[in-house]
């Protein structure tokens, strides 16, 4: 199984890339985390934000690998514990299907992404800085994996 983190935005600060790499490399080959960055639309003073969000959404949708279970990361989505995330990951591993996690830009995900999603998850009631989302996702996936494998990291 591959977990595809498909995210709007590029050029993250070095600490974000380093933290993301650290957690993603801890996952085993049969539960690999792959990041695909989708460039954000140019936000200028007179930009049509609705159009930008739709175009970003179209690019996110085009990047979803075939036969993937799609999760929209959205502030209004379902919150879960790490143990529940581990159960979801274990279920996906058993099904053999890949997972695509969609992360929108500053204004969130396009409506088309939300309609395409098989599930909608929220990382927190808090508003997280966009770079933190990658780190939180990678760390939580590794933590969920440690629960599945009964490793001590989760303690």
> What is the pTM assigned to this prediction?
0.94
- Half-sphere exposure for 49 (CA within 13 Å, toward CB): 7
The CATH number that applies at residue 141 is 3.40.1280.10
Cβ proximity of 60 and 109 under 8 Å = yes
Query: Strand order of the sheet with strand 119-121?
Result: 32-38, 2-8, 98-103, 68-78, 119-121
- Half-sphere exposure for 9 (CA within 13 Å, toward CB): 20
Of the candidates 42, 43, 3, 28, the one whose C-alpha atom is nearest the C-alpha of residue 134 is 3
Q: pLDDT tens digits, residue range 32-79?
A: 999 999 999 888 899 899 999 999 999 999 999 999 999 999 989 999
Domain count, the chain: 1
155 pLDDT more than 80: no
Q: pLDDT tens digits, residue range 138-148?
A: 999 999 999 99
Share of the chain above pLDDT 70, in %: 100
What is the domain extent for residue 105? 2-41+48-154
């Amino acid at each position: 199984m591959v977990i595809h983190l498909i995210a709007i935005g590029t050029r993250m600060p070095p600490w974000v890339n380093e933290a993301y790499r650290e957690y993603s490399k801890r996952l085993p080959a049969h539960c690999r985390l792959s990041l695909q960055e989708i460039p954000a639309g140019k936000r200028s003073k007179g930009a049509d934000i609705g159009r930008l969000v739709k175009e970003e959404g179209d690019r996110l949708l085009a990047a979803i690998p075939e036969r993937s279970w799609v999760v929209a990361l959205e502030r209004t989505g379902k919150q879960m514990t790490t143990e529940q995330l581990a159960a979801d990951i274990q279920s996906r591993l058993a099904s053999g299907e890949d997972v695509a996690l969609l992360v929108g830009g500053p204004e969130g995900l396009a409506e088309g992404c939300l309609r395409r999603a098989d599930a909608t998850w929220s990382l927190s009631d808090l508003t997280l800085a966009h770079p933190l989302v990658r780190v939180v996702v990678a760390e939580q996936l590794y933590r969920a994996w440690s629960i599945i494998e009964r490793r001590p990291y989760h303690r």
